[in-house]
Amino acid sequence: MGSVEMRALRCVLWRDLLLALRRRGDVATALLFFVIVASLFPLGVGAQPNLLREIAPGVIWVAALLSSLLSLRRLFESDHADGTLEQILLGAAPLGVVVLAKAVAHWLAAGLPLVAIAPVIALQYDLPAVLYPVLALSLALGTPVLSLIGAIGAALTLGLRGGGVLLALLVLPLYVPVLILGAGAVEMSAAGSGGEAQLLLLAAALVFAAAFAPWAIAAALRISSE
């Protein structure tokens, strides 16, 4: 990447992180949502340790999915509202790089905290401690993919009436492979056969998404901003 792209990447990344830092409340609410959703399942299915241990990977992953979905709205909304998005579209920085930077910033503010908190939730579900690294790694690899794919949905539904629900409808089917791979990695690990295959596939998905999602996000932003 040339120096213009690197500068643009650094600039947008720094700006978005700064904004997220100033709106710590938003970040905290998404995190809290993650914790609350994960706490609802035992209330719904009963607190038998064996059952909870079995459903833990799936539940944690679904909660991470939903929490990531909630925080996607603010990816482009505030910029769209105050006109910054138009400036970006008209500006010299390549749009693909800008949206990649925004997605990375989103992940750092919304996805990485989930990775950090996940072992605490796993503790609630009595997941054996030996599985924590796999869980954290699967989330660390998967949540960026969620941010990238979700950003496509956020760009497509920018400013629409349907709002968050429409975004969820569009994006959740696309999240399914990440969910299956992520939860599957932990489950395979728990069963003793090691989750390396799933983790490698997740890494491949991340590379693929990082390479191709920016095109889709940029195209969607241009379509939504006319």
Partner 1 sequence: MRWFWYASPQTFFPLAGRIALWCGLAAVPLALAGLYVGFFVAPTDAQQGEAYRIIFIHVPAAWMSMFLYVVMAFWAAIGLAFNTRLSGMMAAAIAPTGALFTFIALWTGSLWGKPTWGTWWVWDARLTSELILLFLYAGVMALRASIDDRDRADRAAAVLAIVGVVNLPVIHYSVYWWNTLHQPATLTKLGKPSMAGDMLWPLLVMLLGFTLYFGAVLLMRLRAEILRRERDAAWLRAGLAR
Residues 185-224 touching partner 1, rule: CB under 8 A, are 187-188, 205, 212, 216, 219-220, 223-224
- Angle (CA) 217-197-122 rounded to 5° is 80
| Tokens 């920016």 found at | 214
Query: What's the min distance (Å) between Cβ of 100 and partner 1?
Result: 16
The span from the CA of 106 to the CA of 111, in Å, is: 7
Decide: helix, strand or coil at residue 2. Answer: coil
Q: Does 226 bind partner 1 (CB under 8 A)?
A: yes
Is residue 143 within 8 Å of 211, Cβ to Cβ? Answer: no
Cβ distance to partner 1 smaller for residue 136 or 172: 172
Indicate the burial class of 112 (C-beta count within 10 angstroms; 0-12, 13-18, 19 or more): middle
Cβ distance to partner 1 smaller for residue 42 or 177: 177
Residues 128-187 touching partner 1, rule: CB under 8 A, are 149, 152, 156-157, 160-162, 166, 169-170, 172-174, 176-177, 180-181, 184, 187
Q: Does 55 bind partner 1 (CB under 8 A)?
A: no
Q: Does 70 bind partner 1 (CB under 8 A)?
A: no
Per DSSP, 131 falls in state G
For the chain, helix (H) and strand (E) counts, in that order, are 9, 0
Interface contacts to partner 1, rule CB under 8 A: 149, 152, 156-157, 160-162, 166, 169-170, 172-174, 176-177, 180-181, 184, 187-188, 205, 212, 216, 219-220, 223-224, 226
